[in-house]
């Protein structure tokens, strides 16, 4: 539940099926993935989001400061959540 992993992503352009595979492998399985895409919200390819939904993981894409707040809120509710954060 309280694990920090290095995610080899430097910008939202690096987010791919392969980079998201890390979150599909987590045990226990997460239900929500909060992605912080830096200074602003960036659109991800719909196929990436669809693939995660098919694995049972909802994805919330936000700018990184709001993604941190959302992650903390969901954690306080005892939700199974992970965050992939790109520094602003």
Q: Say if 2 falls within a structural domain.
A: no
Domain for residue 4, yes or no?
no
- For the segment 36-65, what is each residue's pLDDT rounded down to a tens digit? 999 999 999 999 999 999 999 999 999 999
R_g (Cα) of the chain, nearest Å: 12
Number of domains in the chain: 1
Q: Domain range spanning residue 18?
A: 12-85
Intra-chain end-to-end CA distance of the chain, in Å: 25
Check pLDDT > 90 for residue 85.
yes
CB 63 within 8 A of CB 36: yes
* Entry pTM: 0.94
The residue with tokens 């809120």 is 73
- Residue 66's domain is classified under what CATH number? 3.40.1230.10
User: Which comes out higher in pLDDT, residue 58 or 7?
Assistant: 58
């Amino acid at each position: 539940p309280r694990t920090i992993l290095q995610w080899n992503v430097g910008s939202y352009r690096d987010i791919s099926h392969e980079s998201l595979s890390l979150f599909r492998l987590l045990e226990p399985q997460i239900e929500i993935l909060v992605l912080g895409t830096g200074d602003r919200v960036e659109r991800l390819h719909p196929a990436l989001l669809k693939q995660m939904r098919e694995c049972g993981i909802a994805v919330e894409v936000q700018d990184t400061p709001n993604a941190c707040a959302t992650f903390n809120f969901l954690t306080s509710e005892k939700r199974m959540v992970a965050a992939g954060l790109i520094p602003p």
